[in-house]
């Protein structure tokens, strides 16, 4: 399809971890119009951080990037697919849809999240920062990578069987303006394993294609939201974040599970936004200590995490470990999971933030508090396939749209991931840099279907 569209490209197959990062750091970008990864989300993470680690990062990061989904985690491709107006798709159908959108041309700004870790190192995220259940499943399921996207299904089952809560402190700078509308009552269509291409939108004006794409591949090709939390003047506590009356009658009183004991009865405890409470014990040099009972591997010393010292300054963030400025909201308590996500999708068939856009200038914070039953948590993830999880009325589920956030794990052991890649465990903070990157998306689809 790409050849028939008249797009010339140079194909490089990566040979090791961080190979893509090294390639783009030394690439003569003026010779190319874009960089496409034929992979899952992890390789694009390498590419973007490689661009931002160049001396000319201000120009380099403007290079359009795109993705053709051939990995086990294809979250960004799922968001691109939705933006293009296609029905939810998986596997080959998702690959065909994204290929067609690539051939049609078109791009839009891409928000990037600057993430500063406990050691002071920094990386850039286009997708998510996760702690708790989501990151546990992501890393634990690595051993099932040969199963493709089914690894996450198996990992979820195992994670539910061995569910943990983590005590921590989440602080965020709320978005000043409400930008999201409520989730539709019936959510979005559910992805099917076999789908035909949806009717194409009106063709875009002809674009002159020059030899452009350097594709990078690490894998063989396989054949409405709640309103953002706002703060009242002079109050450190958030106003109500979610309406808890949206669940159907069959859900009432079932979130704790009569026959499925809640993991923790402790509620989240608001604390003053600028309280300089103690952080975790200092992170020692080298590989951080990881749980010995969960079976989760520690990050390797050369993991594709945070080594970037370049990129734009984080003007919204004080130094990690210092008090936060006024206007921040802080929650402390027991969490089952915390997820900070930029685009709409957490997976090709998981719509975590249904009305998020690639360039809305927001990070969408979702968390689940302790006290939820295993059955209720499973029900949330099943509803997430349609983007309707916020309409269930789960009292443990929280959401806020933010410009920046700080996460301070108070449980001494756990797993943190950035774009699905394991990073050092400890306190971290991040802020959105609106439109810092450029994403090849193809033309937008039907009105109302844009993420």
279 located within any domain: yes
Same domain, 30 and 56: yes
* CA–CA dist 423, 301 (Å, integer): 10
* CA–CA dist 364, 219 (Å, integer): 30
- Helix (H), strand (E), coil (C) string for 406-433: EEEECCCCCCEEECCEEECCCCEEEEEE
Of residues 188 and 301, which shows the higher confidence score? 188
Of residues 208 and 176, which shows the higher confidence score? 176
Instruction: Report pLDDT digits (tens) over 63-93.
Output: 999 999 998 789 999 999 999 999 999 999 9
Same domain, 89 and 132: no
Same domain, 105 and 123: no
Same domain, 144 and 218: no
Q: What is the pLDDT of residue 168?
A: 98
Residue 331 CA: distances (Å) to CA of 175, 273, 334, 398, 408: 16, 8, 10, 11, 10
Same domain, 285 and 405: yes
Of residues 228 and 375, which shows the higher confidence score? 375
381 located within any domain: yes
Q: What is the pLDDT of residue 339?
A: 97
Q: What is the pLDDT of residue 342?
A: 97
Same domain, 373 and 392: yes
Q: What is the pLDDT of residue 66?
A: 96
Q: Average pLDDT, stretch 324-347? A: 96
Q: Which residues contact 75 (CB under 8 A, 6 or more apart)?
A: 41, 127, 128, 343, 345, 346, 347, 348, 350
* CA–CA dist 72, 147 (Å, integer): 8
The total of structural domains in the chain comes to: 2
Q: What is the pLDDT of residue 288?
A: 34
Same domain, 43 and 150: no
* CA–CA dist 307, 364 (Å, integer): 25
Point out the catalytic residue in the list 41, 93, 111, 138: 41
Q: What is the pLDDT of residue 6?
A: 80
Q: What is the pLDDT of residue 252?
A: 36
439 located within any domain: no
Instruction: Report pLDDT digits (tens) over 199-210.
Output: 334 433 333 333
Domain that holds residue 25: 9-110+191-223
Instruction: Report pLDDT digits (tens) over 113-157.
Output: 999 999 999 999 999 999 999 999 888 877 776 676 676 678 778
Of residues 261 and 239, which shows the higher confidence score? 261
Same domain, 316 and 406: yes
Pairing mode of beta strands 213-217, 9-13: parallel
Q: What is the pLDDT of residue 285?
A: 31
Of residues 1 and 168, which shows the higher confidence score? 168
Q: What is the pLDDT of residue 74?
A: 92
Instruction: Report pLDDT digits (tens) over 418-435.
Output: 999 999 999 999 999 999
- Average pLDDT across the chain, whole number: 76
Q: What is the pLDDT of residue 256?
A: 59
Same domain, 391 and 248: yes
Q: Average pLDDT, stretch 373-387? A: 93
Of 197, 186, 167, 17, the closest CA to residue 93 belongs to 197
Same domain, 124 and 89: no
Q: Which residues contact 35 (CB under 8 A, 6 or more apart)?
A: 24, 27, 47, 63, 64, 65, 66, 213, 214, 215, 216
pLDDT at 295 over 70: no
Q: What is the pLDDT of residue 187?
A: 52
Assess whether 41 carries a catalytic annotation. yes
393 located within any domain: yes
Residue 346: CATH number of its domain: 2.60.200.40
Same domain, 47 and 177: no
Pairing mode of beta strands 122-125, 107-116: antiparallel
> Cβ of 16: how many Cβ atoms within 10 Å?
9
pLDDT at 304 over 80: no
Residue 23: CATH number of its domain: 3.40.50.10330
């Amino acid at each position: 399809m790409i050849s028939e569209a008249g797009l010339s490209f140079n194909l490089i197959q990566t040979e090791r971890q961080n190979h893509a990062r090294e390639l783009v750091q030394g690439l003569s970008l003026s010779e190319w119009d874009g960089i496409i990864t034929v992979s899952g989300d992890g390789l694009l993470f390498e590419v973007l951080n490689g661009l931002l680690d160049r001396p000319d990062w201000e120009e380099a990061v403007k290079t359009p990037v795109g993705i053709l989904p051939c990995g086990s985690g294809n979250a960004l491709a799922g968001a691109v697919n939705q933006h293009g107006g296609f029905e939810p798709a998986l596997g080959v159908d998702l690959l065909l849809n994204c290929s067609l959108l690539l051939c049609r041309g078109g791009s839009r700004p891409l928000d990037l999240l600057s993430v500063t870790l406990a050691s002071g190192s920094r990386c850039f995220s286009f997708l998510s920062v996760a702690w708790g259940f989501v990151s546990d499943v992501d890393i634990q399921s690595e051993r099932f990578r040969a199963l493709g996207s089914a690894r996450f299904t198996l990992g979820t089952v195992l994670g539910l069987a061995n569910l943990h809560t983590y005590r921590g402190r989440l602080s965020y700078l709320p978005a000043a303006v409400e930008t999201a509308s409520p989730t539709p009552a019936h959510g979005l269509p559910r992805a099917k394993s076999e789908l035909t291409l949806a009717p194409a939108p009106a063709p875009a004006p002809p674009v002159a294609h020059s030899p452009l794409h350097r594709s990078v591949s690490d894998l063989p090709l396989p054949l409405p939201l709640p309103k953002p939390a706002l703060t009242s003047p002079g109050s450190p506590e958030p106003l109500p974040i979610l309406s808890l009356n949206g669940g159907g009658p069959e859900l009432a009183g079932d979130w704790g599970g009569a026959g499925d004991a809640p993991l923790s009865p402790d509620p989240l405890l608001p604390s003053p936004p600028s309280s300089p409470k103690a952080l975790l014990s200092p992170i020692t040099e080298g590989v951080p200590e990881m749980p010995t009972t969960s079976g989760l591997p520690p990050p390797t010393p050369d993991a594709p995490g945070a080594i970037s010292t370049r990129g734009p300054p984080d003007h919204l963030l004080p130094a990690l470990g210092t008090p936060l400025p006024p206007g921040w909201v802080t929650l402390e308590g027991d969490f089952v999971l915390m997820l900070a996500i930029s685009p709409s999708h957490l997976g090709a068939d998981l719509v975590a933030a249904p009305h998020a856009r690639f360039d809305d200038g927001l990070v969408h914070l979702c968390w689940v508090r302790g006290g939820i039953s295993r059955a209720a948590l499973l029900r949330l993830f099943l509803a997430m396939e349609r983007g309707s999880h916020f309409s269930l009325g789960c009292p443990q589920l929280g959401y806020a749209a933010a410009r920046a956030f700080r996460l301070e794990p108070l449980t001494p052991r756990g797993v943190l991931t950035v774009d699905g890649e394991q990073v050092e465990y400890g306190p971290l903070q991040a802020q959105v840099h609106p439109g810092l990157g450029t994403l090849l998306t193809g033309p937008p689809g039907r009105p109302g279907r844009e993420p």
